[in-house]
Structure 1
Amino acid sequence: MPRGQGSSMTTREKPKVDQAVDPNENNPKHRRGAYLLLGLLIIFLHGSWSVYRIQFGNLPLPLDAKQAGKRGFSEASALEHVKYLTSLGPHPVGSDSLDLAIQYVYAVAEKIKTTAHWEVDVQLELFHTDIGANRLSKGLFKGKTLLYSDLKHVLLRVVPKYMPEAEENLILVSSHIDTVSTTEGAGDCSSCVGVMLELARGVAQWAHTFKSGVLFLFNTGEEEGLDGAHSFITQHHWRNSVRFAVDLEAMGISGKSTLFQGTDYWALESFAAVAKYPSAQIALQDVFRSGAIKSATDFQIYQEVAGLPGLDFAYTDTTSVYHTKNDKMKLLKPGSLQHIGDNMLAFLLHSAASPNFLKNAQQQKQENTEQNKAVFFDILGKYMVVYSQRLATMFHNSIILQSLLIWGTSLLMGGRSGLVSFGLSCLSIILMLIFSICLPVVVAFILPHICPFPVPYVANPWLIIGLFGSPALLGAFIGQHIGFNLLKRQLRCVYSRTKPGLTHNTREYVIDLEAERWIFKSGFVQWLILLILGTYFKVGSSYIALIWLVSPAFAYGFLEATLSPVRLPKQLKVVTLVLGMAAPVVSSAGLAVRMADVIVGSVVRVDRNPGGLPDWLGNVIVAVAIAIVICFMFVYLLSYVHISGKL
């Protein structure tokens, strides 16, 4: 037979599956370069930081009294009140400086009364409490009985003159005048008191159109154990007219005042509809109520003791100065008070003028059911998403069921080899988490021995990138790479048995690509497990797991998946990663940075009895938190590194 004919027959008889391109001959650039991987890392980190700056650092321009007008909110006017209160120094309960602060608030409230709209009735009271006992069933003060007496509060009630029923339907706006004994309290909570005084001035010009009244409570005794709110809600004669509560707090100083508690759907929807600069995160509520942050607010009293629906707002920037001598007015960022002032004024004008708002509040208080609970979060500080918890549970269950069906069908089709590969990809997740935690924890133990300050990153949070972030990222890569190599060994056995006709170079190339795909898909498993647990325990922030699961999975299915069992795998496209990560980064990267900042700032309060706990404990807490965040957020990105050819 002629040589040409023999060659032609060989080509026709060779199966298509063996016609894979040899990477060393026709595709020399099949491995990703170091510059591409570095570029992807920079894009991811810069994108995350940009989202954080837009979402939490973009503050409105502050207005003076002339710019705000008679009915607007002026940060300059509110700052005048903050300036005076902080000039008094620390003013805890029982101090002369607190008496001066109360007198000042009362004097400003009297001025508001005299300048109110002529169709508005403003009533002012200085309330002295009787002796009382405060015992809470949960939170920071769980199981403790706190006794109090002779507390003084300033109450300012604003109602329309010609609508008597408004007096029986009040929206409570509350904050506290007192501080702890170590700080002048610019953030906690003079800033909130200043905002409330300016809000009261503006509301007093609008209240003639209201269907409900607004009651401003400037209480004392909050720092002693939420005693001020408790004494009002159990002793004052206006308490039975309150239908809804808004609490203003600070667990830091400055920045955006974020809505972090209050899951009643109708109230959240009302706030979302009118807030000029929405900032709301149910994830902060989940963390706060878990007890991870050792703090409490008056909102607990209004919910637990009075059964009131409501909303709770707090500043969370620079949490390291919370309850310290560094809580000073110079740290207040321009626009911080304007942000919460504009939001709250718009909300109060809308809710007090609505004929249905307090009807919903009264109905919720009587029913006290879970049906009105909601999930809420903002996107880039510009849009607020609110939907019911019932809808969230239905949607999550649907995604979980579909994911399990897809994985189950794929594993059945893949047989034993597919099941083993799936198990090894899951092992890579476990190894990734173990190594990512171990390396920064080692640094956490060493740090107190080589540094004169056990927590140097509190003063400069950027240090956590080098101290904990870098070793955590290295550990995550090492753990995932070990799983990648184990997976390659398994696939090598499979391909040598099922694809014996492949050349050595082609087989190794295909094994790399197949292992990379399994490692990428292991990220789906990681977030699916988190979504299942969050849905089962009804964690509001489970929406984050949903986005991190659905978006990359959709991008992978749209750009990478094939229904042909004959074709060999191809290299994952970079566009798959970029498209798949866009929605997760926009929706939650800023929150991840904020949570890291809150955890770092909270480390200074881990040891409530200085010297009672080891120096390394706070470092370990931060190291583990950073490692977990990196493992979950970098799982997809790291899967692109293992066949870079530069390792």
Structure 2
Amino acid sequence: MDDKAFLITNEHGKGPFRLYTTKGSSTKGPWYCGIMFLLFWAVLFFSIVIPLFFRLPTVLHAEEDSGKGKFIGERAYKTLNDLNNIGPRVTGSNANEVDTINFLLNEIEDIKANMLEEYFTLETDVQITSGSHIYSSLLEMYQGVQNVVVKLSSKNSTSESYLLVNSHFDTVLTSPGASDDGFMVATMLEVLRVMARTEKYFEHPVVFLFNGDEEMGMQASHGFITQHKWAKNCKAFINLEGAGGAGREIVFQTGPYHPWLTNYYKKSAKHPFATTLAEEIFQSGLIPSDTDYRIFVQYGDIPGFDFAQMINGYVLHSKYDRIDVIPRGAIQNSGDNVLELVWALSNAPEMRETNAYRTGHAVFFDFLGLYFFNYTEDTGKILNYSAGVVTLLLILVSTCRMSAFSNLSCCQLMQRLIILSVIQIIALVFAMGIPLTIAYVIDSFGLSLSYFSSTYLIIGLYICPSLFGLSLPTMIYYQLQQNSNVSFTYHLQLGLHSWALIVSGLVLSLTEYGIRSVYILTIILVFYSISLALNLLTTFHDFGYNWTCLHICSQVIPFLNSSYVIYIYLLTMPAISGRSGSASNPDIIISVLSALLTVLCFGFLAPLINMFRRPSIVVFSLFLVSAIAMYLASSTQIGFPYRPKTNPERVLYQHVRKIFYEYDGSISQDESGYLFNFQDRREDQPYTGVNLTGSTKTKSECEKHMMCGLPLFDERWVGNRLQGMWLPRETIEPPSSTTLELLNKTVLENNKTVRFNFRVSGPPHLNLYIQPREDDFVTITDWSFSQDYLKNPPITPLSYHIFITFGIVKPPLEFFLDISKPSGDFNVPLFQLGVSGHYLDDAGDTSSQKFASTFPSHTVLIHWPSLYQRYIF
């Protein structure tokens, strides 16, 4: 009997060409199995992905230190506790410049006292450094910031190539910085201790850089890499950062252009956690942050790794960033990985001349923390192109096979495939568009961030609507095709093929565009192709629903991988959205991530709900879950974003006195008030009980005055200047003076340039804002600061902005400005000069403290007095 004769062409009287055989039934399953089918994947996620994501190793205790080179997590945790007890360590404060330096030196001295002196030498240097670099629209200038630098070498080593390991010990205002970055400081100290006490040779010396000024603009790392005596020998680095310390650390940047680095991570990391997608997202600017990694790459031209703790970012930069939020297993996890990686790199032959190994980027990722994959970008392109082409060929074979077992030609089936591809594109648009629309609507009603504390709302608000949009078009299509002359099981396969066509197109085009994280789509495509090839070889392809078994099994690995990768961002981005400013709608990002999760995980699964009777019940259930979530988000306390201690709202403001001096020295304006820099989308809406009467937006002031006439502290204050708020109050008397003195004014020999010499004094954190008059062709031709910044001024309407940090050295600072004017008339206004002093170690006067006490318990306040004075010269 031939294959065609074997086929029975009637399925319950519906249509003349339904596929039904004795080898496999094509009868649809009961409707409730459709819901169970979706729940199966949810159970798979919560039973496998979540436990593996949060899995941590058992912490080792001091009694387990046998001198065999084990990282002792309990000892590192104690070190972290001692460092944390110092309290907030703001650059320029006594806690940072004296107490923490002494703490580190004592720890290092203890390590040296117990070191194997017959094997190793240890050198310590406290670097006091000054300099500047351009960051965003600012010139970051630093005076007397400190680094504690340690070099550990094997005694018989002659290598002039060093490995650099870096973390920072300073913190932001009010934060004890347990996760950012005390966690990694303690990890480094323990790594240094273990290496110095283990009989294990390493060829290349290791430089441990404990840098004392990262939070104010990565200044201490710049001072090290551009000025320290050991910097020129550093050939690679490991940067250790923190953005929450409740879990595993992730490698989110590596290289650049040095894929050999990931080979060593693969060999050495006991608990791998890394993804190329993190690197591409971070470097795109979607995450409002930066690290010392950029400094080392940009100014040292050396390759390296960027590690970060990133779980529970809700406490980052707040008073709740304490040791009690960090599990001991987390520090054991980081220590195990970092210790082994340091040992591996310190013996790597590539370290002798890293530039010789400068090639393309790397593609890297881990699977559930169980295994790490890495390959070069060129290899990735080959894999991506191959997967796309092979999938297209298999689809062609499958379509021709369908033609051989039906009364339709291959061309007719191709037409169906094209129609289904259009349907799937519509489904993709719905899957992405519906969550985006919901995000826009929620934001328009002032309800953004409803998921901030109740992250499970994301399932109902965005994932279910996306799945609804992904399922609806195909469901409607298949319902309209009940009497089609194509068997339903073939029709269902064509639907999956059409999705494979779309994915193949994305893989090929994104690879051509240079997106390395397309590997996620390639994995999905490879497993679909494997199941399709096996179904064709076993002939399950042609017998009822038999082919679905292999197809469903083949989707388990892609589902786990895709959900694992996207979960990283669905876990971290809500916390980040609480400190990303008010200018953009964070729900947009969350909705896009949710839609990506849905599309990646269910693109090859959603059409299968049509295997069951009444798939509309499944689709309606998704709609119902979404409706319930929207109600909870909009009408109950569940949707209120903030919770005390665990999910606080950040409130950032200055107690400002601003004085405007005119050209003749008179005062045209002397005002005081609170200047708010909103950290999230809801702005002042949740400030219940706080009297904000008389407050105004700062946008109008930005149209009148240089830099809005306000003491914009750093790049984030500049970026949020149009969304700020000013609340007037009675006159503020700053804790101490910030003064600008004109020392002299000298016309230079060409009679077209005049030099102004100034002295500025005040607290350890100062800002200068300089803006020449535009209508008189006035220019700054020279000054005491960076020439690169002078020649590349910020884009109008921003002025020159010089952010100055003082560490162990204190003001005053003397500088000059050379002002040129073609007419040589210097007895008229030439430029504006603003000076702001920031008193970060002061809580303000009695009125300020009383005002702070009115904020609700779900807030964490970061505030300080500042004085802004604008002069015209």
If the TM-score is normalised by the length of the shorter chain, which range does it land in?
0.7 to 0.9
Determine whether 1:52 maps to 2:49: yes
- Among 66, 81, 84, the alignment partner of 2:82 is 84
CA distance in 1, matches of 2:340, 2:240: 15
1:232 counterpart = 2:224: yes
- 1:544 equivalent to 2:532? Answer no
1:578 is aligned to 552
Counterpart AA for 1:49: F
Match status 1:35 vs 2:32 = yes
1:511 positional shift: 4.5
Q: Matches of residues 479-518 of structure 1 in structure 2 within 5 Å?
A: 479-484=473-478, 488=481, 492=484, 495=485, 510-518=486-494
Shift of 1:441: 3.5
Cα distance change of structure 1 residues 88 and 575 upon mapping to structure 2, 3 Å threshold: same
The question of whether the paired residues in 2 share the 8 Å contact of 1:124 and 1:155 is answered with: yes
Distance in 1 (CA, whole Å) between partners of 2:29 and 2:566 is 29
Equivalents in 1 of 2:301, 2:590: separation in Å? 36
1:324 aligns with 2:314: no
The residue type equivalent to 2:203 in the other structure is K
1:21 alignment partner in structure 2 = 10
> How far is the alpha carbon of 1:17 from its aligned partner?
8.9
* Structure 1 SS opposite 2:610: coil
- Are the aligned partners of 2:26 and 2:489 in contact in 1 as well (CA < 8 Å)? no
For residues 130-155 of structure 1, the C-alpha deviation after alignment (integer angstroms, 9 at most, x for no partner) is 2x1213xxxxx456432222110111
Higher relative contact order at CA 8 Å, sep ≥6: structure 1 or structure 2?
A: 1
Corresponding residue pairs, total: 593
Q: CA deviation at 1:332?
A: 0.8
Equivalences for 1:373-412 in 2 at 5 Å?
A: 373-407=361-395
Q: Unmatched 5+ residue regions in structure 2?
A: 15-19, 404-408, 617-873
| Aligned alpha-carbon RMSD (Å) | 2.9
User: CA offset at residue 434 of structure 1?
Assistant: 2.6
The Cα shift of 1:379 comes to: 2.3
- Confirm whether residue 601 of structure 1 aligns to residue 575 of structure 2: yes
**Equivalent residue of 1:233, what SS?**
helix
- Compared CA separation, residues 606 and 433, structure 1 to 2 (3 A): farther
Give 1:392 deviation, angstroms.
Answer: 1.9
Query: In the alignment, is residue 641 of structure 1 matched against residue 609 of structure 2?
Result: yes
| Shift in Å, 1:393 | 1.7
Which of 147, 152, 155 is 2:146 aligned to?
152
Cα 1:361–1:428, aligned 2, differ >3 Å: closer, same or farther?
A: farther
The DSSP-based 3-state class of the residue aligned with 2:463 is: helix
Residue of structure 1 equivalent to 2:263: 269
DSSP-derived class of the 1:305 partner: helix
List per-residue Cα deviations over 1:158-188 (Å, max 9, x = no partner): 112333x24x221111011111224222111
For each residue in 1:244-301, what CA deviation from the matched residue of structure 2 results, as whole angstroms up to 9, or x when unmatched? 1011112222201122221433322122112222222222112112222121111112
Match of residue 181 from structure 2 = 189
> What letter matches 2:390 in structure 1?
Q
Based on CA coordinates, which of the two structures has the bigger radius of gyration? 2
**1:562 & 1:341 partners in 2: Cα distance?**
49
Give the aligned residue type for 1:395. L
Residue range with higher mean Cα deviation, 622-631 or 211-220: 622-631
Change (3 A) 1:68 1:24: farther
Aligned to 1:95: 93
SS where residue 252 of structure 2 aligns? strand
Q: Distance in 2 between matches of 1:469 and 1:517?
A: 25
Shift of 1:207: 6.8
How far apart are the structure 1 equivalents of 2:228 and 2:199? 23
Shift of 1:468: 1.8
User: Contact 1:47/1:585 (CA < 8 Å) preserved in 2?
Assistant: no
8 Å CA contact 1:20, 1:568 repeated in 2? no
The Cα of 1:477 is off from its aligned counterpart by 1.6
Q: Residues 143 and 401 (structure 1 numbering): CA distance in 2 closer, same or farther, change over 3 Å?
A: farther
Residue 438 and residue 541 in structure 1: after superposition, are their counterparts in 2 closer, same or farther (change >3 A)? closer
Identity rate of aligned residues, in percent? 24
Unmatched tracts of structure 1, length 5 or more: 1-11, 136-140, 496-509
Match for 1:553 among 529, 543, 558? Answer: 529
Question: Does the 8 Å contact 2:70/2:194 carry over to 1?
Answer: yes
Counterpart in 1 of 2:328? 334
Say whether the 8 Å CA contact 2:129–2:144 is kept in structure 1.
Answer: yes
Kept in 2: contact 1:183–1:323 (CA 8 A): yes
SS at match of 2:578: helix
Report if the CA contact (8 A) 1:155-1:215 is conserved. Answer: yes
The aligned amino acid for 1:105 is L
Q: TM-score scaled to structure 2, two decimals?
A: 0.64
| TM-score normalised over the length of structure 1 | 0.84
Aligned equivalents of 1:146, 1:118: Cα separation in 2: 41
In structure 1, the residue matched to 2:674 is: none
- 1:625 matched to 2:593? The reply is yes
- The amino acid of 1:439's aligned partner reads I
Contact 2:235 2:354 in 1 (8 A): no
Give the corresponding residue for 1:422: 417
Q: Which amino acid aligns with 1:596?
A: L
Residue in structure 1 matched with residue 290 of structure 2 by the alignment: 296
Q: CA deviation at 1:562?
A: 8.8
Q: Select between 518-527 and 306-315 the one with higher mean Cα deviation.
A: 518-527
Q: Residues 92 and 305 from structure 1, CA distance in 2 versus in 1: closer, same or farther, beyond 3 angstroms?
A: same
Query: What SS class does the counterpart of residue 598 from structure 1 fall into?
Result: helix
Are the structure 2 counterparts of residues 625 and 155 from structure 1 closer, same or farther at C-alpha, using a change threshold of 3 Å?
A: same
Identify which range, 384-393 or 403-412, moves more after superposition.
403-412
How far the C-alpha of 1:238 sits from its partner, in A, is 0.6
How far, CA to CA, are the matches of 1:483 and 1:203 in structure 2?
65
The residue type equivalent to 1:591 in the other structure is V
One-letter identity of the residue aligned with 1:47: L
Give the drift of 1:442. Answer: 4.3
Residue 843 of structure 2 corresponds to none
C-alpha distance in structure 2 between counterparts of 1:517 and 1:632, whole Å: 18
Give 1:157 shift.
0.9
Q: For residue 459 of structure 1, give the secondary structure of its aligned residue in structure 2.
A: coil
Of 353, 358, 380 in structure 2, the residue corresponding to residue 368 of structure 1 is: 358
Deviations 1:535-576 (Å, cap 9, x if unpaired)?
213322222111101112221232257989xx9773364413
Which structure carries more strand by proportion?
2
Aligned to 1:344: 338
Q: Distance in 2 between matches of 1:134 and 1:407?
A: 55
Paired residue for 2:239? 247
Letter in 1 for 2:331: L
1:570 is paired with a residue whose SS is coil
Change (3 A) 1:552 1:18: closer
